[in-house]
Amino acid sequence: MKTNAVRILDNLNIKYELRDYEVDPDDLSAETVAAKIGYPLEQVFKTLVVRGDKNGVSLAVVPGNMQLDLKALAKLSGDRKADVVSLKEVQPLTGYIRGGVTALACKKDYPVYVDENMYLYASVSVSAGVRGTQIILAPEDYIRATNAKVALISKEM
């Protein structure tokens, strides 16, 4: 399926692979996605929608086996504090539903912050912009396509 996220990668001549999986709407966890696409959990990155108190909405991309460090993200984004937005705000802000959020082709061009652990791998998995499809690509290509800032923004769960 050609999603807007995939079209962006095509326009940038970025090589990628798509992996489809059966969606369980009751379990959209990174653990389940990793198992279904046959990829290590630490290489499946989840995109979280965050709002800072000064600079507004941004996207944080962290490994599936970690949690977002809100204090680190706030410092990086120039905010005093940051919080993950409520689930009901995700689709109006991004155009994507939970389980399909990607930093590629969002409704609006939000700042993107990627956890530096992404550089540990030759390839990573991110949402293709729909539930049931993941994009496998090189970290450098993802970071270039999203114009992301890279820093340590995750911590152990």
Handedness of CA 135, 43, 122, 119 (dihedral sign): positive
Strand order in the sheet with 133-137: 17-20, 133-137, 124-127
Could you tell me which residues come within 8 angstroms of residue 140 by beta carbon, excluding any fewer than 6 positions away? Answer: none
Could you read off the pLDDT of 7-63 as tens digits, one per residue? 999 999 999 999 999 999 999 999 999 999 999 999 999 999 999 999 999 999 999
Considering the domain 4-156 in this protein, what is its CATH number?
3.90.960.10
Q: Residues 34, 19: contact at Cβ < 8 Å?
A: no
Does position 1 have pLDDT exceeding 80, yes or no?
no
The residue to which tokens 């079209």 are assigned: 7
* Domain chopping of the chain, boundaries: 4-156
**Closest C-alpha to 58, from 42, 41, 76:** 76
* Distance separating alpha carbons of residues 61 and 59, to the nearest angstrom: 7
Q: How confident is the model at residue 2 (pLDDT cuts 50, 70, 90)?
A: confident
Per-residue pLDDT, 26: 93
Q: For the segment 118-138, what is each residue's pLDDT rounded down to a tens digit?
A: 999 999 999 999 999 999 999
Judge contact between 54 and 76, C-beta under 8 A: no
pLDDT over 80 at 5, yes or no: yes
Prediction pTM value: 0.96
Q: How would you classify the pairing of strands 154-156 and 82-84?
A: unpaired
pLDDT average, residue stretch 61-90: 97
- Cα distances from 137 to residues 5, 50, 125, 127, 142, in angstroms, run 12, 24, 7, 11, 7
| Helices (runs of H) and strands (runs of E) counted in the chain | 5, 10
Q: What is the pLDDT of residue 157?
A: 86
